[in-house]
Structure 1
Amino acid sequence: MTTLQHVLDNWVFKACDGEKWFPATVPGCVHTDLLKNGQIDDPFYGTNEHELQWIDKKDWEYRTSIELPEGWSDLSRIDIVFDGLDTYADVIVNGQLALTADNMFHSWSADIKSLLTEGTNTITVKFRSPISEDMPKLESLGYQLPAPNDQSELGGTDDRKISVFARKAPYHYGWDWGPRFVTSGIWREVRLEGWSEPVIRDLFIRQDQVNAEMAQLTAIVEVDSIDAWEGRLQIASDCGQLWSEEIALESGKQSITLKMQIADPKLWWCRGLGEPTMYSFNAELLQGEHRVADYAVKTGLRQIRLVREPDEAGASFYFELNGVPVFVRGSNHIPNDSFAAEVTYERYRHEIASAAESNMNMLRVWGGGIYEEDIFYELCDEYGLLVWQDFMFACSMYPGDEAFLNSVAKEAEYNIRRLRNHPCIALWCGNNEIDSAWSQYLENAGWGWKEKGPYTSEIRDRIWHDYQAVFHNILPKAVADGANGVAYWPSSPLRDLTGDEKQHAYKIFGEGDVHYWGVWHASEPFNNYNTQIGRFMSEYGFQSFPELDSVLRYAPESELALESEVMLAHQKNGRGNQLIKQYMDMYLPEPKDFKSFLYMSQILQAEAIKTAIEAHRRNKPYCMGTLYWQMNDCWPVASWAGIDYYGRWKALQYIVRRSFKDVMLSIDDSDKAGEIAVHIVSDRPTGDIEAELILALYDFKGTLLQEHSYQTLVAANSSSRVFMAQTKELLGDQDPRNVVMRLVLKCHDEVLDSKEHYFTSFKDMKLTHAQVSVEEVAGSAGTVLILESNELARQVWLSSEEEGIFSDNFFDLIPGIPVTVDFRLRSHGEEAFVPGSPGKITVRSMVDFVKSEE
């Protein structure tokens, strides 16, 4: 083969108005390069974010030099290829302009052979300030487009919100969980590519029809040829099959199609339904025995469908994989770092493995971040996680000039093509919350954008026209043309494109998807999760703080107070800290100090989301999906995340793991008549289970007060109420503040699930200090532990000296009922988690954090 690649490295950078050059890391950005060279303090520490807003007002310059490797000068063509430029950049080769970039979300390339010389070649990338570049666009437009998450005042632009003009990660301008760092830099790989003979640019395995008997496929091979060429196209699969045909190429870019069949294919399944089997395909261009070019891809064979069919409640909204309805269990994903190039393979794997460990089967890539790195989707393929993929638009209205629309079209095509072989992609969604926020067809609904403008009717019509151009025309066409049959959904949340007031999703309706934020933003009680249920719950959430060890990495001891300057700087949601306290006052006993407040906030968050998840699952098949907000953090902060910035599981993540089990017990006492209902939910696609339900009541010292056993049939893919009783009848004359009900669901000797239920709130319980014993299981090298308690211990928190996860945590201990847990280290090897010693274990429970009444 005469195709060569050379990754460009040895970069330096400086401010365009500066003199001194510093070493640069590519991929990277100017903020991290400044930090690594000691020019700024840690952006995430204290209030340093506020002091670094000058960076985005400057122009920056990156430079490297290269001597062409031997043999390159003989090649017919040499391209420079940038997989990602952030964002406004001029690429100059030996003093001559090679290309100009203005979109962070797709690659950029140019033929530079004529610009290269013998000896040393200098390549310069000059980044123009996004602020300076986009401010004139706002002035030219003449009116402000809504962009409430743009932290313009922090950024020094007052009320001039310009984030909407840049095709750049929206969260860079701030969000209600993230800082404002408007970056510039070469954020993905840059290389030279040279060739003389034909090259394969892309291999797409289009899945025309796939079932258990046969996979009907079409390979679409995109080829670039300098000259006319004749030879053979051959495609081999790791299933042992080979397909080939003789071809004749013309000069230039062209596509070749080749029909393929695989009998009895092993299908790709999401977690819980089967194995996520992947196939490898390798395309080659051959002349005789000479291989001219090759290109390899992996894909999983599957059929994915968004099912929206009328029913008596409205219309369904669920995903069907290989003919099987999927109850979606998962979370919303945001970028793992404010500086995207800092996210390593291990950090991606930790998140995806954590999702799988938490019994999830879907992540939603939310529209205010980035189209993720290839490795993110490869890991989702591997672990069997479906992906709801937003286009990168969120919570703002956008311009509709020709240049902007053309840029969006190119961005959409590029990312669909890049991701279409991934079986994990289940849906392409146009944007996050814009349709409901603007509320075109309901005058006094939405987020008040139409009224706050203030906008004339002409401007309002133009804004909506520009919205439709992107989300009702450009994006659905791009998905239909290239997304391998994956569905398009214009906006989340949405009922349907009705063109009238029925379009928007404000209340809980019988169709579409729902973002329910009454709990949290509207201070509604947790019990409302039991009634505010839609067909697919794509967002809802509740905040907490990270644990103390994480907080101390961004704040000194002196700032450990709810309203301190640093705590407020690391709380981006307005009165978020006060909302946590407000809810804590409603549901939990008073913490004894701020460090205890951190722990209690996690218990509060976990209780909220547990209530929501169980309500959604109990209501299947009316509700067929639950994606809580949010999986992860982009910096250390108080937020809705279940895993903090450093990868540490909060209480929420352990509660989610239990609440997302394939077979789940759920206890519902939301009925105002004083009844308790026990539900069993099974997401197993096949196989009914003959099970035993054991109900036992204990006092807090472990005395068994009563016990009952019931035989029950757990039907596959079902939700059913299996037991109901009056609270008063269960308790008799027992003090409700001193009684716990324990339910165990067993199939033979296997415990399918267990749950505790209390007859009063956390606030009113009579908890006493418990002595919790921890015993290592012999021969486990400390990785398996047995815990017991002499008194009821609520929300037992195990913290380890080493980074890792427990098989269970934040659980209750009833005296006489031991709990066995194992520990796995967070690994930097081949596996995400491996058995290993946790080091020193610290065991605490809720009573250790509660303010004494004395």
Structure 2
Amino acid sequence: MKKPNLNLKRASVLTSTLLCSALLIAAPLRRELNEGWKFKQARLNNWYPATVPGVVHTDLMDNKIIEDPFFRLNERSMQWIDKEDWVYQTTFHLTPEMMERQNIELVFKGLDTYADVYLNEKKILEANNMFREWRVVIKPHLEAGENVLKIYFHSPIKVDIPKCDALPYQYEASNDQSENGGVFNKKVSVFARKAGYHYGWDWGPRLVTSGIWRPVYVEAWDDARLNDVFIRQQEVNKNCATILGEIEILADKEIEKANISITEASSGRVLAGQSVSLKKGMNKMSLPFSIRNPKLWWSNGLGEQYLYDFRTDLTIDNRTADTQTKKVGLRSLKIINQPDKDGKTFYVELNGVPVFAKGANYIPQDNFLPRVTREQYEKTILDAANVHMNMLRIWGGGIYEEDVFYELCDRYGILVWQDFMFACSLYPAEGELLENIRQEAIDNVKRLRNHACIALWCGNNECNDAWFNWGWQKRYKKQNPEYEQIIWKQFNDQYNVTLPQVVKEYAPESFYWPSSPFARYDGGSDDHNGDRHYWEVWHGKKPIEMYNKERSRFFSEYGFQSFPEFESVKRYAPCEEDWNIYSEVMMSHQRGGAHANELIETYLLNEYRKPRDFEAFLYMNHVLQGDAIKTAIEAHRRDMPYCMGTLFWQHNDCWPVASWASRDYYGRWKAQHYFTRKAYRDILVSPIADESGILKVQVVSDRLKSCGGKLEVSVIKLTGEVLNQYNRNVKIDANSSRTLFSIPLEEALNGARKEDVFVHAVLSTDKGKNDYANNYFLVKQKEVNYPHVMITKSIQPIEDGFEVTLNSDNFARAVFIATGDANSSFSDNYFDILPGSSVKVEVYTDLPQNVLEKQLKIVSLSDEY
């Protein structure tokens, strides 16, 4: 054992034994540099306090130099910020303990984006990629006392415009709002390795940030440290998990003998270990081990999300030099993309079981990323898990998410479809930029590969379809065939060579998919191979019922727009003059332009009657969106196993806006999210009348075991009279979609008009413990003869809120309850109340009962005409 450092021993509070002191000396020391920061505009002299991690926009807001860019029209006046250079600076002292270490490094988890880093006036780093981590040796540049760390952020616009101007052609970047940024048609986003949505999208503002957006810290160590640990799952089944611990150790000298071990932390059982000699520099080694009868990790709804704690220890001279613990779920996960009689399949096979993917597409939760809290991450992932989602697709125009995102997905069983960060654009992927992209991919594949939730890596969002189906290839060929060849080579090198090579090398068991959507390398997507983005309903203006006819092996995108609810709108558009969907403020918070608002209005008036005012319009738009996506989800699930996935666009917003999101920026659930919870349950009961005049009820089960149940199908007048009722004892096969009831519609109607009735189907399973119910209408909502309804309420206190019981005399459609702008959540909302029946809803709120009694708003569809 090395002699302990006596100065350190005296300074330490952990000096009870020589061993404790030695262990403290051996372990790497880390100190986050998150205090004492200030910033300024580079060409001016005034310094202001700064928050790190952060971005310049939030620092400007905190110092009251700018107002909230999300409020009313403020975004417009913020476009000067990205044309300026910005300087961040702090001073720091390192303790004697850290200064005495042989190696001291400065680690940046994320710099946004073009950043020159100076330590004591010495330039030590030129960063140029928001998505990479940067580690710099700083011991030679440190002072014994105060050290000055300065970061100069270059304007990404000023850096990249010359690159744009130097080319004889432009790179396509369909969502870059360059005109809003005052740079005309110079779509420079493709030149920066930076989140594409910062430059604007059809649901987001143009707010191009700079800053220290992830933590920065100093790390000090002696002899050697663990650089990376990969718990590589070579083969996993219920009998045995065969694992290879692939370990990287960085040593500052030759070390004759070191010990490396992997331990299951919960039991203390050493799974693998060996003695090794280390050369100076990077050392790579493998420790094979196996676990008998492993506890498997399952996606949400299929089983437990068991996570093992694997601790890796590096020991030198009987001292622990470094240790890392990884939480790992053991599972066999494959993407099955194989020819069959219809084309090529595309589905997840988890632990040998085909899994129907139920989920949504996810975008960053804010334009100003560092202000998204752990609590917001937890709510966002729980809001997916609690509506029975089992997959989120991290879309390629945002970021490789924070570690906490994947940790929560591991914990709650949410599979992650992980795009690389490229979307709806073409990129000059050659030379230095292509190498930068390769390093970015390595950084993020290595960072994320231990997470059980990672289902696949995808090259980009829609770039393949844009080239083959949107006319991009033809445009370049017409302009100059040489340009087409240059850009296609860059495209091919990026998505078909570089990125798959990184995945193969650093996560060999992972699946790589070149683009989303994708069917083949020499053409665009289709409805019988791979995945599909279906936008004919919405962008293509086709009617909502087309969702019942369109097919795909895997719907990885589709969606329908809505505005936020009225209470959310009032937060960013508080003036009455704003309360029109075509007002200047509402249009500024609708990035699809007047065309999108016209689509909402056209679809709404085609499906529903005219709303009575602006607030009613917002409510009915929510019901419209919910009904549309419910129709799609049910159709996709009925089409199992031809279709094996449905991910709607989108789960969340990055600012308050009209969008396709099912939850608004403030986290409020729209009707779509409540409808999704029922449509994504483990069993779906789905009535539908086909074109031949047959009323069918199809039952879809995701359960891994068959079960029995009682199916009751009723045709009921909206005023309560039961016209026909059918009861069947049914058997529901595991992982299946079957028609379990059918009857001629005319017979079921018993002479009644379609406009006066609804179909109510309910399946009772598990000896009556679980009911799966669904209401179905035979005509469009505007043709349904909804009677006037009288809804009465009673309120009883419960823990953390109240139970509200609502009774209705007639059928009440899409009953919406709200508590004003109070922070409340609801066990259900936008629900139907059957004639003469009641619904109990739990309202979780801080409001006292007397205030809730006055403030509780209750509306149904017939009230809003």
TM-score normalized with structure 2 length: 0.93
1:846 paired residue number: 861
CA contact (8 A) 2:361 2:650 kept: yes
Partner of 1:536: 554
- Matched residue SS, 1:578: helix
Matches within 5 A, 1:15-414: 15-229=41-255, 230-240=257-267, 241-242=269-270, 243-287=272-316, 289-414=318-443
Letter in 1 for 2:401: E
- Count residues in correspondence: 828
Aligned to 2:772: 753
Aligned equivalent of 1:698, options 702, 711, 716: 716
How far the C-alpha of 1:838 sits from its partner, in A, is 7.7
The answer for the alignment partner of 1:716 in structure 2 is 734
Contact kept in structure 1, 2:477 and 2:484, CA below 8 Å = no
Q: Deviations over 1:221-257 (max 9, x none)?
A: 2111112222321221135220322121121121221
> SS of 2:206's equivalent?
coil
Helix, strand or coil for the counterpart of 1:86?
A: coil
Distance in 2 separating the partners of 1:825 and 1:409? 49
What's the CA shift for 1:785?
3.1
Match of 2:813 among 791, 794, 802: 794
Call closer, same or farther: CA 1:280–1:97 in 2, change over 3 Å: same
- Write the distance in 1 (CA, Å) between the matches of 2:474 and 2:576: 45
Q: Give the alignment's Cα RMSD to 1 decimal.
A: 1.7
Corresponding residue to 1:5 among 24, 30, 37: 30
Higher mean C-alpha displacement, 778-787 vs 733-742:
778-787
How far the C-alpha of 1:752 sits from its partner, in A, is: 3.1
Q: Which amino acid aligns with 1:238?
A: A
Q: Look up the match of 1:830.
A: none
Q: Which residue of 1 aligns with 2:634?
A: 614
The secondary structure found in structure 2 opposite 1:186 is coil
Post-superposition offset of 1:286? 2.0
Cα distance change of structure 1 residues 471 and 452 upon mapping to structure 2, 3 Å threshold: closer
Contact 2:111 2:127 in 1 (8 A): yes
Residues 420 and 484 in structure 1, CA contact (< 8 A), matched pair in contact too: no
Q: CA deviation at 1:452?
A: 7.0
Which moved further from structure 2: 450-459 or 656-665? 450-459
3-state SS of 1:350 partner: helix
Q: What fraction of aligned residue pairs are identical, expressed as a percent? A: 44
> How has the CA–CA distance of structure 1 residues 484 and 809 changed in structure 2, closer, same or farther, with 3 Å as cutoff?
farther
Secondary structure, in 3 states, of the residue corresponding to 1:733? coil
Match of 1:434 in 2: 463
Shift of residue 433, structure 1, vs aligned partner: 0.5
Equivalent AA in structure 1 for residue 494 of structure 2: V
What's the secondary structure of 1:529's corresponding residue? helix
Residue deviations 1:538-585, cap 9 Å, x none? 000000010111101111222110110001100001311111001011
Which of 743, 752, 761 is 2:761 aligned to? 743
1:760 positional shift: 2.4
**CA distance in 2 between partners of 1:317 and 1:120 (Å):** 58
1:593 equivalent in structure 2? 613
Matched residue SS, 1:480: helix
1:489 to 501, 513, 518: 513
State the partner residue of 1:511: 529
Q: Distance in 1 between matches of 2:534 and 2:754?
A: 32
Query: What residue ranges of structure 2 are gaps of 5+ in the alignment?
Result: 1-25
The aligned runs of 1:623-642 (5 Å cut-off) are 623-642=643-662
- How far apart are the structure 2 equivalents of 1:422 and 1:768? 53
How many angstroms apart in 2 are the aligned matches of 1:334 and 1:28? 19
Once the 2 structures are TM-superposed, how far is the Cα of residue 120 of structure 1 from its aligned partner? 1.2
The structure-2 alpha-carbon separation of the partners of 1:520 and 1:449, relative to structure 1 and needing over 3 Å to count, comes to farther
* Structure 1 stretch displaced more, 741-750 or 426-435: 741-750
Instruction: Quote the Cα distance in structure 2 between the aligned partners of 1:259 and 1:779.
Output: 53
CA distance in 2, matches of 1:409, 1:514: 27
Change over 3 Å in CA distance of 1:600–1:106 after alignment to 2: same
Alpha carbons 2:477, 2:483 under 8 Å: kept: no
Q: CA 1:452/1:726 → structure 2, altered by over 3 Å: closer, same or farther?
A: farther
Cα-to-partner distance string for 1:518-549 (whole Å, 9 max, x where unaligned): 00001000111111110000000000010111
Shift in CA distance, 124/683, structure 1 to aligned 2, threshold 3 Å = same
Q: 1:135-188 CA distances to partner (integer Å, 9 max, x unpaired)? A: 111122221011010000001110111100000000000000000011000000
Aligned-pair CA distance for 1:208: 1.1
Change (3 A) 1:172 1:777: same
The answer to whether the Cα contact below 8 Å between 1:30 and 1:183 also exists between their aligned partners in 2 is yes
Deviation string for 1:762-815 (max 9, x for gaps)? 112222332212234576675333322012111001223653432322111112
Q: Secondary structure at the match of 1:152?
A: coil
Secondary structure at 1:720's aligned position in 2?
strand
Q: Distance in 1 between matches of 2:702 and 2:108?
A: 44
SS at match of 1:167: coil
Shift of 1:455: 2.5
Q: Which amino acid aligns with 1:234?
A: S
Select between 164-173 and 213-222 the one with higher mean Cα deviation. 213-222
Report how far residue 447 of structure 1 moved.
4.2
CA distance in 2 between partners of 1:327 and 1:447 (Å): 33
Amino acid in the other structure paired with 1:710: R
1:823–1:838 CA contact under 8 A, matched in 2: no
Question: Equivalent residue of 2:438, what SS?
Answer: helix
**Residue of structure 2 equivalent to 1:421:** 450
Q: Give the deviation of 1:448 after TM superposition.
A: 4.6
What is the CA-CA distance between 1:749 and the residue it aligns to?
A: 1.8
Mapped to 2, the partners of 1:617 and 1:414 lie a distance apart of 37
**Per-residue deviation at 1:673?**
2.8
Structure-1 separation of matches of 2:704 and 2:166 = 57
SS in 1 for 2:664: coil
Which residue is equivalent to 2:6? none
Tell me how far apart the structure 1 counterparts of residues 392 and 461 of structure 2 sit (CA, whole Å): 15
Q: CA deviation at 1:400?
A: 2.5
Query: Is this contact kept in 2: 1:3–1:197, CA < 8 A?
Result: no
Alignment-derived partner of residue 834 in structure 1: none
- Answer whether contact 1:44 1:635 (CA < 8 A) is retained: yes
Deviates more, 1:760-769 or 1:709-718: 760-769
Q: Distance in 1 between matches of 2:852 and 2:275?
A: 60
Decide which moves more: 461-470 or 776-785.
776-785
Cα deviations across residues 726-785 of structure 1 (Å, max 9, x unaligned)?
Answer: 322221222332222211111232343111122322112222332212234576675333
Gaps of at least 5 residues in structure 1 are 440-444, 827-836
Give the C-alpha shift of residue 817 in structure 1: 2.6
Judge conservation of contact 2:84–2:154 (CA < 8 Å) in 1: yes
CA contact (8 A) 1:824 1:838 kept: no
SS at match of 1:378: helix
> What is the DSSP-based 3-state SS (H/G/I as helix, E as strand, rest coil) of the residue aligned with 1:143?
coil
Tell me: CA distance 1:334–1:782, structure 2 relative to 1, closer, same or farther (3 Å): closer
Instruction: Specify which of 768, 781, 786 is matched with residue 767 of structure 1.
Output: 786
